Every structure is written in C-alpha cells, then in structure tokens.
C-alpha cells in the first residue's frame, strides 16, 4: 500500500503488475486518473458501496459522459456530457460520483473539525438524472441532492371504481358498455358502480 492510497502488486523485478488506481470504483484519490475507456460507478446508498444506478465514463473520444448503469454508450442514453469530444484522449482526477448521479469535486479541510465542501459539480443544475427514480415515484431536489418521493396515496375505493368503470367500457357486447354520462356520474360518485361481467374476448 503506497502513501497515496494506491494498493499495488509487484513482480520479482519490482515492476508494478497491478494497481488499484487503474480500477476506480466510486471515488478517486490524489494522483489517481480516470483514463480513456474507464468509468466510475455511483453507490447504492451511503452505507452500501455496491454498484448503484449511474456510471461516469471517460470515453475514448475525450467526452466525459454520465449514463444510467445498464445502458449503451450512446448520446441518446446520456444524462449529461462534458462536451469535450474531439479534443483527444483526456483523463480526470480527484473526483467522486454521488448516489444521485452528480459528479462532484470536493475540498477537504482538516482544521480542528474535519469538513468537506463542494468546489464543482456536474451537471451543475442538480436536476433529477434519467433513471434516478423508479416507477410510481417522482424526483425532487433538496439541498442540492436529488430525492425520490412516492406518489400520493390514492383512495382505494376511488381506484376500485375506476377499474370497474374501465371494465364496463371494454365489454364485448356494445349494449353493455356505459354511456359517457354514466361514466362521469360513476367517477364523480353520484351513482354506484356495480361489478361488471368479465370481458370474454382476448
């Protein structure tokens, strides 16, 4: 283990044959580089360092691009890009990919109390990246952090009535289908919704 945090393996000639700095995960240390073709991955959570939802890739064309984890390297899949393609093979150092897909450069202060502050972040708008929140949730931003929230709870009786009305509207027999007036009255709770027969067509 070197003083800079790099874990290395030497051969009998004292040549480095493996280095942890060549395989970054979610954090980069001083002296570590993110070379062309390499990528960082976000964590699952603050306490779980397994691979999370995002990956930040230094592409061969010099463009630093943020993608959702299980996507191909195509611009239509990108959540953010540095716009540095065409500048040759570049590399990045001393950075961190957060849980929310925002890539941040931190400053560390070792005074009487240890503190960190964000010097730079991309995307700098702290918007909600693609794929951050799953189905049945939406994304908000609080204190420069993307947060997933659940959709408001729906009254089960209202939901049940909506499903029943929907089943009445797809009946195979046109005479059994509801009129628009009946649909509105049922959905507004003016009239009761009876249990519809099961549609027979596939």
Q: What is the C-alpha separation between 178 and 35, in angstroms, rounded?
A: 63
Strand order, beta sheet including 114-122: 96-97, 103-110, 114-122
- Residue 160 inside a domain? The answer is yes
Predicted local distance difference test score (pLDDT) of residue 10: 92
Tokens standing for residue 121: 């972040």
Instruction: Give the CA radius of gyration of the chain.
Output: 27
Task: Indicate if the pLDDT at residue 105 is higher than 70.
Answer: no
- Judged by DSSP in three states, 194 sits in coil
Which ranges constitute the DSSP H helices of the chain? 156-169, 180-187
Whether residues 38 and 95 fall in one domain: yes
Whether residues 98 and 193 fall in one domain: no
Per-residue model confidence as pLDDT tens digits over 20-52: 888 878 877 766 777 778 888 888 887 888 888
The boundaries of the domain holding residue 174 are 153-202
Predicted local distance difference test score (pLDDT) of residue 13: 93
């Amino acid at each position: 283990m070197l003083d800079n945090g790099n874990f290395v393996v030497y051969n009998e000639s004292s040549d480095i044959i493996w280095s942890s700095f060549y395989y970054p995960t979610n954090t980069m240390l001083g002296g570590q580089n993110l070379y062309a073709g390499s990528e960082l991955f976000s964590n699952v959570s603050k306490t779980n360092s397994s691979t999370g939802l995002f990956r930040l890739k230094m592409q061969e064309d010099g463009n630093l691009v943020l993608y959702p984890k299980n996507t191909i390297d195509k611009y239509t899949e990108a959540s953010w890009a540095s716009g540095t393609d065409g500048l040759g093979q570049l590399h990045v150092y001393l950075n961190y990919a957060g849980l929310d897909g925002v890539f941040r450069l931190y400053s560390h202060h070792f005074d009487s109390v240890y503190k960190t502050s964000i010097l730079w972040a991309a995307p700098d708008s702290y918007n909600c990246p693609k794929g951050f929140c799953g189905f049945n949730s939406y994304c908000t931003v609080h204190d420069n952090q993307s947060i997933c929230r659940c959709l408001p709870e729906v009254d089960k009786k209202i939901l049940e009535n909506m499903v029943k009305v929907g089943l009445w509207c797809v009946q195979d027999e046109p005479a059994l289908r509801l009129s628009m007036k009946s649909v509105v009255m049922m959905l507004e709770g003016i009239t009761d919704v009876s249990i519809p027969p099961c549609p027979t067509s596939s």
